[in-house]
Structures are given as C-alpha cells and as structure tokens.
Amino acid sequence: MNGPTQGDAVDTIVAQWRRERPDLDLTPMSVIGRLGRCAALMQRELDTAFSAFGISRGDFDVLATLRRAGTPYCLSPTALFNSLMITSGTMTHRLQGLEERGWIAREPDPADARSKRVKLTPAGLALIDQAVEAHLENERRILAPLDAESRDLLDTQLARLLAALEPPQD
C-alpha cells in the first residue's frame, strides 16, 4: 500500500485532514478515496481501448450482454435494460446508434407480435469478439503491477464489499 514515501493524491488529502483534524480516524477516507481514484483512472484506460474499436463503454456493455446471452445472441429490450441498469432513454439512444452502425438488429419477437428483440448481427458478433479479447488484455495490463496472490486477495475483499453494498439480485 502506498505510504508517505511514495505518496499519491489520497495521501496528500489524508495528510491535510490529519493536520487539520488529528482527532479523526481517516482510514475510511483513505480506502474509499483510493477505490474512487483507481476506478476513475482504470475507466480512462478502458475507454481508450474501447475507442480503438469505435465503441464507447456503453456500446461495449450492450454488445457484450448480447454476446454473453449465447446463441442466437438475442434478448428482449427489457432483459437488456435490466441487465445494464440504465434509463430507458439511454437504452433507446444506444440501441439506435448500434443499429445504425449495423452491429445489432431489432426483429419481431416470435412469442409476442407487439414486441421486438435485440439481436447481434454477424458484424456485431465479430466486433464484440475482437473487442472483448482486447478488453481482457487491457485489464491484464492494468492489473500487472499486482502478483496473482494480491489480485486474488483484492478480488475476494472487493467481492465482500460489493456484497454488502449491492442490493440482493432477484
């Protein structure tokens, strides 16, 4: 863990608070601050990798969700919406953009003639298969400073924290 000799932005903030309020236990600020900064910096790295494929993080999420659904790579808009936890307006906008670029198609739902399903096109399937490989390589690069044991420990601890923060899934 970074200490005063290495110093990072969180160390600076904590040191300022320690100077001004030595009576406070600043441990939570240090942990949460580092999690937040890591998330923001990692997201920037991830976004750069997505942009190499001409997609955004949101585009990647939609395409990856359809890909993970398995053959025929098709979901109802509701299932897609629930999986991505975004607003319906955002979903509509994303789907329009992906459809315009030929990566998804909306087709009639055989179970309900009033509804449409969202399906990966062959071009969308090829794109997401390439993008997910590059994404995983990028994630490996980001985590490379940690050895395998450290990654496993971090994953376990973050899973515990997430379980405490995230509402139960239905």
Same-domain pairing of 71 and 40: no
User: pLDDT (tens digit, 0 to 9) for every residue of the chain, 170 residues total?
Assistant: 444 446 899 999 999 999 999 999 999 999 999 999 999 999 999 999 999 999 999 999 999 999 999 999 999 888 888 888 777 788 888 999 999 999 999 998 887 778 889 999 999 999 999 999 999 999 999 999 999 999 999 999 999 999 999 887 76
Cα(86)–Cα(21) distance, rounded to whole angstroms?
39
Residues 127 and 105 in one domain: yes
pLDDT score recorded for residue 88:
77
**71 and 116 in one domain?**
yes
C-alpha distance across the termini of the chain, in Å: 36
What pLDDT, on a 0 to 100 scale, did the predictor assign at position 2? 43
Tell me, what's the pLDDT at 6? Answer: 67
Per-residue confidence (pLDDT) for residue 10, from 0 to 100? 93
Answer yes or no: do 63 and 94 share one domain: yes
Is pTM beyond 0.85? Reply is no
| Domain annotation covers residue 143 | no
User: Which pLDDT score, from 0 to 100, does residue 90 have?
Assistant: 84
Nearest to 37 by CA among 72, 57, 8: 8
Q: Is residue 1 part of a domain?
A: no
Give the DSSP per-residue string, 7-52. --HHHHHHHHHHHH-TTS--HHHHHHHHHHHHHHHHHHHHHHHHHT
Query: Sign of torsion, CA 36 42 48 53?
Result: negative
pLDDT for residue 23: 97
The CATH code of the domain that includes 72 is 1.10.10.10
The verdict on 35 and 63 lying in the same domain is no
- Could you give the angle at which helices 88-100 and 77-84 cross, rounded to 10 degrees? 110
Cβ atoms of residues 53 and 132 within 8 Å: no
